Each structure stands twice: as C-alpha cells, then as structure tokens.
Amino acid sequence: MSELVLLLSSSIDSGTPLLLAALGLIINERSGVINLGAEGLMLIAAITGFAVALATKNDALALLAGAAAAAVFSAFFGFLVIWLNANQYATGLALSLFGSGLSAFVGIHYSQESLTVAGHHGLFSHHYLVYLAVLLTLGLSWFLFRSKAGLVLRAVGESPESAQALGYPVRLIRWAAVIAGGALVGLAGAFVSVVSTPLWVEGMIAGKGWIALALTTFATWRPARALLGAYLFGFITMLQLHLQGRGVNLPVELLTALPYLATILVLVLISRNPRWIAANMPTSLGKPFFPGA
C-alpha cells in the first residue's frame, strides 16, 4: 500500500476518539447543556475501560464499562446543572479537574500495566468502533434533523420555555441528553486506553476532550461536519509525524503544534461568518432553565 493510503488510514484511527467525543458533546449541546468536563469524563472512562479490559480480556465489555462510568458522572453533572441550576461552565470545569484527579488516583496501580493486542491496520481493517463511529454520525444526523425525537431535543436547546409549554419534560430530556452524550464521550475515552494504546497513564487523554469541545463548535453542532473536523485533526496529527520521518526541515516544536494551529485557523475562518454559527447554535446553550418561572 502506498504511504498516502496508510497515512489516511491512520488519520482515521487517530480522529475516531475525537469524533465519538464530539458526537456526544453535540447531543449535550443540542439540548442546551454545555459540558466542559469532557476531558475529565474521558479520563474516567479510560481508566475504567483499561481496568475492565485487564480483568476480563474483553474489549467490548471494557468499552461499555468506560461509557457507563462516564454516564454515571455525567448524570451527577446533569443533576447539578439541570436540577440544581448550578452554573454549567463552572461545574463543567470542576468535573474536568475532578476527573483527571480521580483517574490519576485510581490509576496509580495500573500505570505500566499493558494489554496485549490483536492486529488492526490497513485501510479496511480498523477496529469495529471506527466503523461504528461513522454509522453513529449518520444515525445522529438522521436523529437530529429527520426524527421527531430529535426535533424535540433541538427545541429544548433552542427554547425550553416553548418546549415546556407544549408539554415536554424539559429537565428530563436534558438529563437524558447529558447522560447519553456523556456515555459517548466515555466511549471515546475508553477507545484511547483499550484500543488505540492499550495502556494506562495519568492524563493520557492529553487534551482530546478539549479538542472535541472545540470541534463541536467548529462543526456548528452538525455531526457530519464533526466527522470532517475530527478526521482533519487526525490527518494533521499523523501528517506532522510523517513529515518528521521524512526529515522535513521544520522545527519539531512547530510540527507538534500544527494540529492545534490548524484547528484554531479553521475556527477563526468559521467565526468570520457569524451567521454560520448563529444559524446552528442552540440558542439556550449554557443557560439554566427554571420550569416555574
């Protein structure tokens, strides 16, 4: 296989955890809840998934356990911000810090343990979750823009008052969205520690949660665009490593920063046109909802 094909193939592997996390965050944010705790959730899921994989030698179970752990913490986050109306930004940041601390603490005895892995590489031989992520993207697009339930979810994020007036349980819907989205973010975290690099090390998510948050905005809350963004980020990440291997005469520090620079650049280009964002941004994003008011 040519190097380009291999490069594209590994870009997809590299972008998949970002895609999964971004899809989860799109579900959250479409319901009007912004969860800045994605990084912490991914870390919690990563250590949970790794521990389960080590104990059971079962990938699927490990991935599900990671998703479940993140769902539990998301439910707690949702309880604080939806039912108690805690500030979403501050609580999300707290969750992020809490998640990295907790995972480091739990993970002390897992560092430098390692799983043995089966081979997956080549254009059509990825881990099944890579394909599942593409299907999820299509499914979520359909759900959000073609199904009635998706319409209700978006209504809750746009105008919770109207949704309530129509008789929808706004808080319950938001909570469900936060938990479901959190589970997907968790799946992304477990993917990193169980499939991509079957190891645990403190802070191993290394900012992927934050990148996914940025991607969500960059993708203007649309799943298909999140897929493009995630693969683009994966592509540039792998491209800079390939350039290094080819001995390109650029400082390593600059090459390492490239994926982030590219993301910022794209974000800037997107925000040049405020209508792009305004047309898609859930109007009530980040705002608390008081059913009685």
Partner 1 sequence: MPRFLDRATPACIASSLLALAFMTLPACSKKPSGDAAPSATPAPPAVEPKATEPKADAPLKVAFAYVGPVGDAGWTFAHDKARKEAEAAFAGKVKTSFVENVPEAADAERVIRDMVDQGNTLIFGTTFGYMEPMLKVASDNPKVHFEHATGYKTAANLRTYDSRTYEGAYLAGVVAGSMTKSKTLGVVGSIPIPEVIRNIDSFTLGAQSVTPEIKTKVVWVGKWFDPPKEGEAAQALLDQGADVLMQNTDSSAVLQTAEKAGKFAFGWDSDMSKFGPHAHLASAIINWAPYYQKAIKDALDGSWKTGQVWWGVKDGAIDLVSLSDKVPAATKAKIEELKKGLKDGSFTIWKGPIKDQAGKEVLKVDEKGEDKMLLGINFYVKGVEGKLPSGK
Binding-site ranges for partner 1 (CB under 8 A): 3, 6-7, 10, 13-14, 80, 84-91, 93-98, 100-102, 104-105, 108-109, 111-114, 116-121, 192, 196-199, 201-202, 204, 206, 237-238, 241-242, 244-249, 251-253, 256, 286, 288, 290
Distance CA 59, CA 75 (A): 24
CB of 141 to partner 1, least distance (A): 28
CB of 110 to partner 1, least distance (A): 9
CA nearest 195: which of 103, 130, 109? 130
* Ranges of H-type helices in the chain: 3-30, 38-56, 59-78, 88-107, 128-146, 148-158, 160-165, 170-191, 208-218, 223-245, 252-271, 274-280
Residue (144 or 185) nearer to partner 1, CB: 185
CB of 139 to partner 1, least distance (A): 27
- Residue 151's Cβ-side half-sphere holds a number of Cα atoms within 13 Å equal to 4
CA nearest 191: which of 62, 102, 69, 36? 62
Residue (152 or 281) nearer to partner 1, CB: 281
Residue (12 or 140) nearer to partner 1, CB: 12
| Overall residue count recorded for the chain in this entry | 293
Residue (80 or 140) nearer to partner 1, CB: 80
Cα–Cα distances in Å, from 227 out to 121, 133, 153, 255, 262?
20, 9, 21, 23, 16
Distance CA 122, CA 128 (A): 13
Residue (144 or 170) nearer to partner 1, CB: 170
Q: Dihedral sign for Cα 88, 91, 94, 98, please.
A: negative
Residue (60 or 206) nearer to partner 1, CB: 206
Decide: 103 and 47 in contact? Cβ < 8 Å: yes
CB of 86 to partner 1, least distance (A): 4
CB of 81 to partner 1, least distance (A): 8
CB of 140 to partner 1, least distance (A): 25
With 0-12 / 13-18 / 19 or more C-beta atoms within 10 angstroms meaning exposed / middle / buried, residue 16 is buried
CB of 3 to partner 1, least distance (A): 6
Residue (100 or 141) nearer to partner 1, CB: 100
